[in-house]
Amino acid sequence: MVGLVTELAKGRNDGCIASMLNRSGMRTGKGNSWNETRVKNLRRENSIPVFSKSEARTWRTMSEAATLLGVSLCVIRTMMRNRILPAEQAAKHAPWIIENTNLELPAVRSYAQQAKTGKSAPFDNDTPLLNL
């Protein structure tokens, strides 16, 4: 649980984290549902820093990635499903996290460019797919 909250706290406030934990069916050690105060206490007891919007992030959400690449969310999902664009999800119902450096991968840029032109991206033996 501590590891999950640590990951989620990188990009979400305590209220959002509580919501995600509840949607995932997770409970506190005493069997209670999560709320903002319980998440805050867990963070404090485990020295987990609070999310700050002012800090520079090394990652993007799916929506942010789509905007940066100029494509739709559907294209981002397709690249993730086909392992062209690496992404991580700390837990079910948590947001997908895409590292900024992965948005610069040649295969990602090529796929996004072809999607913008309306052409399907060709896959051949020379197209590098990621083995995740």
Model pLDDT, residue 55: 66
Query: Across all residues in the chain, what is the average pLDDT?
Result: 85
Model pLDDT, residue 79: 94
pLDDT: which is higher, 98 or 125: 98
Q: Is the pLDDT of residue 125 over 50?
A: no
> What strands lie across the sheet with 96-99, from one edge to the other?
59-60, 96-99, 88-89
Per CATH, the number for 59-117 is 1.10.1660.10
Model pLDDT, residue 119: 64
- pLDDT for 70-120, tens place per residue? 999 999 999 999 999 999 887 777 778 899 999 999 999 999 999 888 766
For the chain, the structural domain boundaries read 2-45, 59-117
Its pTM surpasses 0.75:
no
Q: Is the pLDDT of residue 127 over 60?
A: no
